[in-house]
Amino acid sequence: MKFSVLRFPGSNCDQDCVHALNAIPGASAEYVWHKDTSLAGFDAVVVPGGFSYGDYLRCGAIARFSPIMKAVGEFAAGGGPVIGICNGFQILCECGLLPGALVRNRDLHFVCEHVSLRVERDDSQFTRAAAAGQILNIPIAHGEGCYFADEATLDRLRANGQVLLRYCDPSGQASDASNPNGSRDNIAGIRNEAGNVFGLMPHPERACDPLLGSTDGLAIFQGIIGN
Amino acid sequence: MKALVTVMPKPSVLDPQGAAAAEAMRHLGMENVGRVRIGKLIEIELPDGADEARLNEISRDLLSNPVIEDFEVKIVNR
């Protein structure tokens, strides 16, 4: 499976994503510049983390209008898998491929730590390599990762089973104390209604090598590759 | 002409910056301070007669995010 990893000015997790993906059997990854207009030949899209356009205005607000995003919209509309990680999640929300928005963390701090994530369902292409209820240990690193959506949107997300990952404690309880940024309903990752677009604040690409302290991130990419 | 676009977090959105500023004001002796909200003021220079309807669209689509923010466009120095 051939992944495209988008590069915006200010992306800084693009190399980590390409490195992690190229080490997984069955996957290969290539960079795609944000001024490119085609995703022809690719089977999946990764919108990586970083600070696209310096996070000016709002995180992801300017990247949303980059030429490549039109192709991403068409790719997603055609059912192709798209995963947005951290800043990539923010971009996917800004461009409307995912509902809601990411705002400043509850306590204003930039949080950089390993967190526990509960896999809410394993019938999604992004989580099928894990088990429902499994706890993944994956790092987060963000200042604006507080997931916000109005009550009606949250109800819809829950009713459609679109919440794939929640922040939890090591025993799997999703509580206020285990919520690192104030996200509504402890939401760490959601998918769109069609199920082919996934956004998450944690960085699975930083948890793909035992040297980095966890390999739990592999499950996310392996899920996509299992297509 | 000049346009001033005010962008404010919606009342339902947590504004930790505003809360932190309110707390600091209380520490400075203004104990009776109420809710503080922090937004953005965007100053835009435009040629006279510029398309105000388009400016409104861009304020909605780029300068603000309707999920979390409200905006208001004011034309000054017409």
- pLDDT at residue number A25: 94
From the candidates A59, A120, A203, A208, which is the catalytic residue?
A: A203
SS3 of chain A: helix, strand, coil, percent, to 5: 25, 25, 45
- pLDDT at residue number B46: 95
Domain residue limits, chain B: 2-76
Chain A partners within 8 Å of B63 (Cβ)? 57
Determine the average pLDDT of the residues in B15-43: 96
Task: State yes or no: is A112 an active-site residue.
Answer: no
Mutation target to probe the A interface, by most A beta carbons within 10 A, among B14, B17, B63 is B14
Q: Is B50's pLDDT higher than 60?
A: yes
Query: Quick one: B2-76 is in which CATH superfamily?
Result: Phosphoribosylformylglycinamidine synthase subunit PurS (3.30.1280.10)
According to CATH, the topology of domain A2-225 is Rossmann fold (3.40.50)
Angle of CA points A143, A149, A154, to nearest 5°: 130
Taking the CA atoms of A94, A100, A106 and A112 in sequence, report the sign of the dihedral they define: negative
Question: Is residue B55 helix, strand or coil?
Answer: helix
Q: What CA–CA distance (Å, rounded) separates A209 from A86? A: 19
Question: Is residue A148 helix, strand or coil?
Answer: strand
Q: Is B75's pLDDT higher than 70?
A: yes
Chain A partners within 8 Å of B13 (Cβ)? 103, 148
**Mean pLDDT in order along chain A per 10 residues (227 residues):** 98 98 97 98 98 95 96 98 98 98 95 98 97 98 97 98 98 97 98 98 98 97 89
Task: State yes or no: is A205 an active-site residue.
Answer: yes
The answer to whether A32 and A46 have CB atoms below 8 angstroms apart is no
Chain A partners within 8 Å of B68 (Cβ)? 101, 103, 148
CB contact under 8 A, A108 and B16: yes
Nearest CB to B68: which of A62, A101, A106? A101
- pLDDT at residue number B14: 87
The answer to whether B2 and B43 have CB atoms below 8 angstroms apart is yes
Q: What CA–CA distance (Å, rounded) separates A192 from A101? A: 13
The nearest CA of chain B is from the CA of A104 a distance in Å of 7
Nearest CB to A101: which of B17, B62, B65? B65
Confidence of residue B77 (pLDDT cuts 50, 70, 90): confident
Q: Is B59's pLDDT higher than 90?
A: yes
CB contact under 8 A, A65 and B62: yes
- Containing A198, the helix (H) or strand (E) segment is strand A197-200
Task: State yes or no: is A146 an active-site residue.
Answer: no
Amino acid at A4: S
Q: Give ipTM to 2 decimals.
A: 0.88
Confidence of residue B73 (pLDDT cuts 50, 70, 90): very high
A31: Cβ contacts below 8 Å, ≥ 6 apart: A4, A5, A6, A7, A14, A18
The nearest CA of chain A is from the CA of B16 a distance in Å of 6
From the candidates A86, A93, A95, A168, which is the catalytic residue?
A: A86
Domain residue limits, chain A: 2-225
